Amino acid sequence: MHDLLQRPAAELAELVRAGEITARELVTASVERIEALDPQIGAFVDLDAERALAAAEAVAPHDARPFAGVPIAVKNNKPVDGMRLTFCAELLGDHVASHDAFLVRRLREAGMIVVGTTKLPEFGILPVTEPSRFGPARNPWDLGRTPGGSSGGAAAAVAAGMVPLAHGNDGGGSVRIPAACCGLVGLKPARGRISQGPDLGDSLLGIDGVLTRTVGETAALLDVLAGYETGDATWAPPPPEPFAAAALREPGRLRIALTVTPPLPDAEVDPVCEAAARDAAALLEGLGHDVREATPPWATPGMLQTFSAVFGPLVSQAIGFGGLLNGRDPQPEDMEALSWYLWERARAASSMDYIAAVNQLQGFTRSMVGFFEDVDVLLTPALGERPVAIGEIDATAPDPAATFRRSGAFTPFTATANVTGQPAISVPLFHGEDGLPLAVQLVGRPADEATLLSLAAQLEAARPWADRRAPVAATAGA
């Protein structure tokens, strides 16, 4: 049964529809797998076995919903009615959400069953998942290394075979980074593609998504999650065809730009990561695409500081929410040093400082999007380094600014797509000699997830990865 959870979600739903397995058996397998493996992986904040099994009982054979009976986990920064919403922070205590986020409602409407919530770094700040409150999530490929962040718990849960897929979100690479660390597919959709409701009208940097094993699953889940909700402040234009259909068609001959030069001038790229991008370029050229090396106009001095000037206030929304729950202003003892640093910076900055930073990012966006007038897809390494060791990027360290810079050096290629709002996807094309997955990133034109999904599916067919198993996921009888 444990291997069953590593099959594509659509296949699992078809088994339930055909009566070959019940939804309760499928959810039971997930619950048992979580109980067996999570003590060493640390992916979950909460397991909601009782309610998940009750929901599974209501799923009958021939259920027409596309993912009826399929278990899924939700990242613990989105409300799930009746479950704790903590952002993995002491400040929020054991606050219980009284409603579902719109995306959770859509998952349920598609037949999915929420089995629990997954870890993130405190307030989702870092590209590693080691919150002081709940302890680290670990990479199923190497328990001494990070599964990435901030959707690290989600990625670890999928890579360990505890759930077939999981929800995540991405404000600076937080889906793509853990996907790269754990050998999964991670798409950051276009800005406004998935509603932020009911709690937000939109988000400048963040967008929700999923961690999956296959491009087809990612595309099918995007069809479930995408689309306008009443009252959304902004939204992406509807696609000309379902995303699942785009993943099934050939992409045609594309103009692909390769760069291994990171946006952060001081970042050094591991030769292994650079070689993966160049190998991917050679593969794409062999598939008939026009590939050339070209560096986008993205090495802007001070960009990390400008990004943090916008990112910090977004983080501070969650910190302020925690303060409201406690009926007082947050204090240093309420949070990790890095969280307090961003909170203090946000409070010290004026509204004009924030607007100026946003304007700078918008100007940067115009030049970056202009680069795509002659390019269909940009190819980069997914990460600047191999997955770092647990504890190497420490949110409690005494120099928070240095911690933030260190995190940027680990993941220099991802945040740009959040600034521009373009879709980007991490695909686990290769496997390193160190036994860890080795991924590349593809960045598409604004609102053009379809081309990315079609191209990623072509790469998946050329170099299949879905059957690779992390050592923990291959544990017999777990």
* CA neighbor of 60 nearest in space, from 32, 21, 30, 29: 21
Q: Please identify which of the residues 30, 132, 151, 174 carries the catalytic annotation.
A: 174
Are 157 and 43 within 8 A, CB to CB?
Answer: yes
Strand 290-293's sheet: what is its strand order? 44-47, 113-118, 71-75, 166-170, 207-212, 185-188, 424-431, 437-444, 377-381, 255-258, 290-293
Q: Which residues pair with 44 in a beta bridge?
A: 118
Are 423 and 188 within 8 A, CB to CB?
Answer: yes
Are 274 and 281 within 8 A, CB to CB?
Answer: no
Looking at the chain, the number of H-run helices and the number of E-run strands are 15, 11
Q: Please identify which of the residues 30, 75, 407, 454 carries the catalytic annotation.
A: 75
Catalytic residue flag (residue 188): no
Distance of CA 44 to the CA centre of its chain: 15
Q: For the chain, what is the radius of gyration of the CA atoms?
A: 21
Bond from prior residue into 147 cis (ω within 30 degrees of 0): no
Catalytic residue flag (residue 75): yes
Q: Using CA atoms, how far apart are residues 121 and 123, in angstroms rounded to an integer? A: 6
* CA neighbor of 155 nearest in space, from 456, 417, 428: 428
Are 466 and 213 within 8 A, CB to CB?
Answer: yes
Q: Using CA atoms, how far apart are residues 77 and 122, in angstroms rounded to an integer? A: 10
Q: Please identify which of the residues 30, 119, 132, 150 carries the catalytic annotation.
A: 150
Catalytic residue flag (residue 174): yes
Q: Which active-site residues does the annotation give? A: 75, 150, 174
